[in-house]
Amino acid sequence: DVQLVETGGGLTQPGESLTLSCEVSGFSVSGSYMSWVRQAPGKGLEWVSVIFGNGDTYYAGSVKGRFTISRDSSVSTLYLHMNSLRAEDTAVYYCVRLYCNGVFCGDAFDVWGQGTMVTVSS
Amino acid sequence: SYVLTQPPSVSVAPGQTARITCGRNNIGSKSVHWYQQKPGQAPVLVIYYNSDRPSGIPERFSGSNFGDTATLTISRVEAADEADYYCQLWDSSSGHYYVFGTGTKVTVL
């Protein structure tokens, strides 16, 4: 069974750092297209970052230079390192696998974790 | 700005058909995906690559994409279909990469 479990959310102050983890099971995190998507309270979905199968990484403009996506295949885990946090980063953060059938990869988000809440407030 | 425009809300009676649109200039040239999100839950992919259904998604869900509008159609609507729905596409050319629509709340009357 494919499963994604996020941990690491919580309450933190502006300017602080936080690292989210996403442990995956049922597939290999290395070589997979993986992403983070967030949702502020009462708002819509916002893409945050992606790591492609070849290791290339991309970020939304709102987090570029502050957030870093990475993965560790030895522990089947995806990470999101978040620095210089702002109040507007407050959201539920979802770890998501991107669909790949060997021909089409990286377009659609096909498996979602349950999300972890990050609150940035003084 | 890069915006995928959806109607904020759609209301439909049980057994009827709900159509949710997603608008952007020449969206028909892109692959559009659709997600269903119920309160307190993570989104679920219901349509990918414009009109394909993942396994486990009822045939009542269908999609199309042409010109400036992509459409998610829910036939024979059931109470369980009440949720928020989001369209999404990938476009690296703009630097935005993954863009979600503004979301549509479907209410079953």
Kindly list the residues from chain A whose CB atom is less than 8 angstroms away from the CB atom of residue B88. 45, 108-109
pLDDT band per the 50, 70, 90 thresholds, residue A84: very high
- pLDDT one digit per residue (tens) for chain B, 109 residues: 578 999 999 999 999 999 999 999 999 999 999 999 999 999 999 999 999 999 999 999 999 999 999 999 999 999 999 999 999 999 877 666 899 999 999 999 9
Please report the beta strands in chain B, taking only residues with DSSP state E, as ranges in sequence order.
Answer: 9-12, 18-23, 32-37, 44-47, 61-66, 69-74, 83-91, 97-100, 104-108
Higher pLDDT, A34 or B96: A34
Q: Is A66 left (phi over 0), alpha (psi -120 to 50) or beta?
A: alpha
pLDDT at B91: 85
pLDDT at B5: 96
The residue in chain B having the minimum alpha-carbon distance to the alpha carbon of residue A99 is B48
pLDDT at B9: 97
Say how many residues make up chain A.
Answer: 122
Least CB-CB distance to B45: which of A35, A58, A108? Answer: A108
Question: What are all long-range contacts of A4-8, with beta carbons under 8 Å and residues at least 24 apart?
Answer: A4/A95, A4/A96, A4/A97, A4/A111, A4/A112, A4/A113, A4/A114, A5/A113, A5/A114, A6/A93, A6/A94, A6/A95, A6/A113, A6/A114, A6/A115, A6/A116, A7/A116, A8/A116
Q: What is the distance between the alpha carbons of residues B87 and B107, in angstroms, rounded to a whole number?
A: 17
pLDDT band per the 50, 70, 90 thresholds, residue A31: confident
pLDDT at B96: 63
pLDDT at A33: 94
**Considering Cα of A96, then B44, then B88, then A19, what sign does the dihedral take?**
negative
pLDDT at A111: 96
Interface of B with A in 48-77 (CB under 8 A): 48-49, 54
Pick among A1, A107, A111 to test the B interface (most B CBs inside 10 A): A107
Q: pLDDT above 90 covers what percent of chain A? A: 90
Least CB-CB distance to B48: which of A37, A46, A108? Answer: A108
Kindly list the residues from chain A whose CB atom is less than 8 angstroms away from the CB atom of residue B89. 107
Kindly list the residues from chain A whose CB atom is less than 8 angstroms away from the CB atom of residue B86. 44-45
Q: Does B90 touch chain A (CB under 8 A)?
A: yes
Averaged pLDDT score across all residues of chain A: 95
At A91-111, the pLDDT tens digits run 999 999 999 988 888 899 999
Tokens representing A93 are 């953060």
Distance from CA of A79 to the nearest CA of B (A): 19
Longest Cα–Cα distance of chain A, Å, equals 47
pLDDT at A101: 86
Average of per-residue pLDDT across A48-59: 93
The rounded Cα A32 to chain-centroid distance in angstroms is 13
Contact (CB<8Å) B33/A108: yes
Average of per-residue pLDDT across A2-18: 97
